[in-house]
């Protein structure tokens, strides 16, 4: 009789969690377990649950409940347990583990040979797919019908398709530089689940980078929970890292994306980044300024002014006219006025961004901003997002929404 254990692994989260899912998959394969594409056949169902916003949290709880109906044991991983802690503990009394505690993952599987900490970070995220297609086909069909009957959503899908060449390129090799985040942005509850900063040694990252180069890979995205803070915990820095990588790929034509570079670090390291980027290898930088209001930046605990961001990014545009700049803005942060929202839009007339994510503020229980009042109504946020879409279309700036 076949006694090989089978495990089903899924995630509705971001690329970082999909990379975690890939690492877990390799962990089980190295330990001679079988990966199954259906929870119907699994001994264990592992789910990295997204808590990006209210829509994703509701989806995550629904998927957790549906997975728990299958014979195998369900284990919840990811961020949801810290972003929505009260609701999570009310709805789930099974096993779970936050991202920051993944080195304890082996405790769920006594007798495992190869430990989680000994499995290297991955370079290719697990394929996201639509989990409902597997766990509940009837929900998947209802989702598709709901989308088809919603003119606004159809319009957004059509817009995205017509501008597909401007979307983020996922055909890339991801290289983790660090985990955790030392910043204390008030809107972020995720920092409580990812833990303190842990940077990988420069030599280890360069070795991995060299291996990927030898395999013929040329498109790279450097990823972390806060890339700019790299090295602060190991007496190094982000400029030290990119200079070492720059030396390693001498003679190769490569493309770099530097993802989610906090504005305070692009301000601090602007000379170093521009010097490296003059080689032409830095194709895109994602720098999320979040709001054009200095009052709100203070409430967000972002540790920079909007004037500093504008001056710095203008310098990037002048020095590197071909580089792509992308950003996120939060719409409806507590106490945001209509005037402050217009200040955010005004930044796009100062600095041209190729792409922007419009993010509806989510009042996560685990965030510091949960205590900031008054809140902005959903109706006001929806009106502002609609206005932002019109504004960005007029300026030929590609947008995506997370609302």
Question: Tell me, what's the pLDDT at 1?
Answer: 40
Q: What is the mean pLDDT of residues 396-400?
A: 93
- In the Cβ-directed half-sphere of 106, how many Cα atoms lie within 13 Å? 12
Handedness of CA 72, 59, 24, 26 (dihedral sign): positive
pLDDT at 26 over 80: yes
pLDDT at 28 over 90: yes
**pLDDT tens by residue, 107-129:** 999 989 999 999 999 999 998 88
Question: Tell me, what's the pLDDT at 169?
Answer: 64
The answer for residues whose C-beta is within 8 angstroms of residue 55's C-beta and 6 or more apart is: 403
Question: Tell me, what's the pLDDT at 153?
Answer: 74
Question: Tell me, what's the pLDDT at 168?
Answer: 63
Q: What is the mean pLDDT of residues 52-61?
A: 93
Question: Tell me, what's the pLDDT at 56?
Answer: 92
Burial 281-299 (b: 16+ CB within 10 A, else e): bbbbbbbbbbbbbbebbeb
CATH number of 156-402: 3.80.30.20
**pLDDT tens by residue, 70-96:** 999 999 999 999 999 999 999 999 999
Residue in the block written with tokens 């099974």: 94
**pLDDT tens by residue, 9-23:** 999 988 899 999 999
For the chain, give the percent of residues with pLDDT over 90: 82
| pLDDT band, very low/low/confident/very high, at 173 (cuts 50, 70, 90) | very high
| Sequence ranges of the chain with CATH classification 3.40.50.12160 | 6-142
pLDDT at 350 over 60: yes
Instruction: Kindly write down the DSSP assignment for every residue of 158-204, as one continuous string.
Output: HHHHHTGGGS----SEEEE-EES-----TT-STHHHH-S-EEPPHHH
Q: Whole-angstrom distance between the N-terminal and C-terminal Cα of the chain?
A: 49
Q: What is the mean pLDDT of residues 280-285?
A: 94
> Which architecture characterizes domain 6-142 according to CATH?
3-Layer(aba) Sandwich (3.40)
Q: What is the mean pLDDT of residues 160-187?
A: 83
Mean pLDDT, the chain, as a whole number?
Answer: 93
Between the CA of residue 268 and those of 238, 265, 291, 303, 402, what are the distances in Å?
10, 5, 19, 12, 29
Tell me which DSSP letter residue 250 carries: T
Prediction pTM value: 0.91
**pLDDT tens by residue, 245-267:** 999 999 899 999 998 899 999 99
**pLDDT tens by residue, 228-241:** 999 999 999 999 99
Question: Tell me, what's the pLDDT at 403?
Answer: 53
The angle, 0 to 180 degrees and rounded to 10, between the axes of the packed helices 338-350 and 378-394 is 20
**pLDDT tens by residue, 380-390:** 999 999 999 99
Question: Tell me, what's the pLDDT at 167?
Answer: 66
| pLDDT band, very low/low/confident/very high, at 191 (cuts 50, 70, 90) | confident
Question: Tell me, what's the pLDDT at 156?
Answer: 77
| Sequence ranges of the chain with CATH classification 3.80.30.20 | 156-402
């Amino acid at each position: 009789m076949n006694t090989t254990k089978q495990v089903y692994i899924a995630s509705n989260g971001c690329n970082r969690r999909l990379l975690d899912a890939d690492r877990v998959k390799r962990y089980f394969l190295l330990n001679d377990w079988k990966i199954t594409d259906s929870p119907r056949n699994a001994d264990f169902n592992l789910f990295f649950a997204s808590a990006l916003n209210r829509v994703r949290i509701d989806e995550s709880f629904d998927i957790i409940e549906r997975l728990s109906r299958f014979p195998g044991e369900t284990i919840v991983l990811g961020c949801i347990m810290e972003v929505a802690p009260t609701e999570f503990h009310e709805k789930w009394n099974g096993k779970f583990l936050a991202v920051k505690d993944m080195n304890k993952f082996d405790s769920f599987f006594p007798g495992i040979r190869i430990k989680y900490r000994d499995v290297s970070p991955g370079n290719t995220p697990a394929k996201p797919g639509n989990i409902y297609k597997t766990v509940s086909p009837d929900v998947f069909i209802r989702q598709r019908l709901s989308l088809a009957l919603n003119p606004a959503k159809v319009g957004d899908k059509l817009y995205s398709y017509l501008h597909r060449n401007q979307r983020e390129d996922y055909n890339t090799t991801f290289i983790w530089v660090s985990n955790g985040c030392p910043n204390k942005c008030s809107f972020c509850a995720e920092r409580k689940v990812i833990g303190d900063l842990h940077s990988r040694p420069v030599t280890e990252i360069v070795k991995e980078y060299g291996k990927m180069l030898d395999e013929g890979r040329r498109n790279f995205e450097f990823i972390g929970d806060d890339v700019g803070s790299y090295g602060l915990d190991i007496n190094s820095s982000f400029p030290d890292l990119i200079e070492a990588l720059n030396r390693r790929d001498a003679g190769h034509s490569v493309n770099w994306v530097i993802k989610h570079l906090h504005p305070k670090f692009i301000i601090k390291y602007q000379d170093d980044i521009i010097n490296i980027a003059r080689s032409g290898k830095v194709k895109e930088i994602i720098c999320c300024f979040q709001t054009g209001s200095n009052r709100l930046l203070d409430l967000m605990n972002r540790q920079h002014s909007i004037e500093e961001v504008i001056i710095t990014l203008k310098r990037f545009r002048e020095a590197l006219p071909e580089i792509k700049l992308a950003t996120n803005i939060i719409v409806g942060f507590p106490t945001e006025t209509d005037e402050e929202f217009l200040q955010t839009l005004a930044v796009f007339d100062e600095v041209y961004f190729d792409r922007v994510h419009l993010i509806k503020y989510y009042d996560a229980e685990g965030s510091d901003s949960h205590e900031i009042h008054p809140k902005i109504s959903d109706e006001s946020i929806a009106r502002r997002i609609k206005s932002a879409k019109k504004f960005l279309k007029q300026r030929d700036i590609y947008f995506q929404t997370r609302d």
